[in-house]
Amino acid sequence: ILNVEQSPQSLHVQEGDSTNFTCSFPSSNFYALHWYRWETAKSPEALFVMTLNGDEKKKGRISATLNTKEGYSYLYIKGSQPEDSATYLCASLAAGNKLTFGGGTRVLVKP
Amino acid sequence: DTEVTQTPKHLVMGMTNKKSLKCEQHMGHRAMYWYKQKAKKPPELMFVYSYEKLSINESVPSRFSPECPNSSLLNLHLHALQPEDSALYLCASSQDSLGFQPQHFGDGTRLSIL
């Protein structure tokens, strides 16, 4: 069983502040890490797919880093806006080409 | 607008009913997925189709029967479901099933079993 853990489970951020949260995954048998944003009443939206140790990806005010040796990824939101409120899911790809999702971090940005 | 369309959005059915969930994509993706998501839990993979062939079945009970009539459509046939099968069922697609391409999700079908 592949354990993918996300922390914290939820966080409140003041509008304009920056924040970050963590995804932990087994470092052995690692192939790729996915990040998705899931807004209420919408479908999950792909943010990044990362494969290389030390890789950094950026999309607007959202960025992510990857450490495959120690098995973690950080997602950063710079200058949080109310529209960033969502659940952020990470998923690890292991052998068998199956994604295993973490429990998500629910972000609420307060105006 | 989501590029993966799921119907119906909501479904209430009894334990003796037979119903089907439908999923459609026109992005030319060759891999399609069914996930089950219970409240406050992460999505759990059920089935993967690659080039219209079933490639992964995550030991799903036979009361769930997937079908891929063509490269754009994915169905999930339901029969004799149990109350614990009540959940959000998500369909997704990707360019291939290798896992290095992002998955595109539908809005899901919220299923309630009476």
Span A17-29, mean pLDDT?
A: 95
pLDDT surpasses 90 at B9: yes
Give the minimum alpha-carbon distance from A49 to chain B in angstroms, rounded to a whole number. Answer: 6
For residue A101, the one-letter residue type is F
- Average pLDDT over chain B, rounded to whole? 95
Q: What pLDDT score was predicted for residue A2?
A: 67
Cα(B90)–Cα(B107) distance, integer angstroms = 7
Q: Is the pLDDT of residue B74 over 70?
A: yes
Cβ contacts of B101 on chain A, cutoff 8 Å: 49
A43 with B107: Cβ contact below 8 A: yes
Is the pLDDT assigned to residue B2 strictly greater than 90? no
pLDDT of residue B40: 87
CA neighbours closer than 13 Å in the CB half-sphere of residue A34 = 25
Q: Is the pLDDT of residue A1 over 80?
A: no
Position B62 scores a pLDDT of 96
Q: Which of A42, A46, A102 sits opposite B103 (nearest CB)?
A: A46
How does DSSP classify residue B52? T
What is the average pLDDT value for chain A, to the nearest integer? 95
**pLDDT of amino acid A29:** 83
Say which range, A15-19, A55-59, A93-97, B91-95, has the weakest mean pLDDT. A93-97
pLDDT score of A22? 98
The string of pLDDT tens digits covering residues A68-106 is 999 999 999 999 999 999 999 999 998 778 999 999 999
Nearest CB to B105 within list A43, A49, A93? A43
pLDDT value at residue A94: 84
Give the Cβ contact number of residue B34 at 10 Å. 25
Nearest CA in chain A to B47: A98
Q: Does A9 touch chain B (CB under 8 A)?
A: no
> Which chain B residues contact residue A51 at CB under 8 A?
100
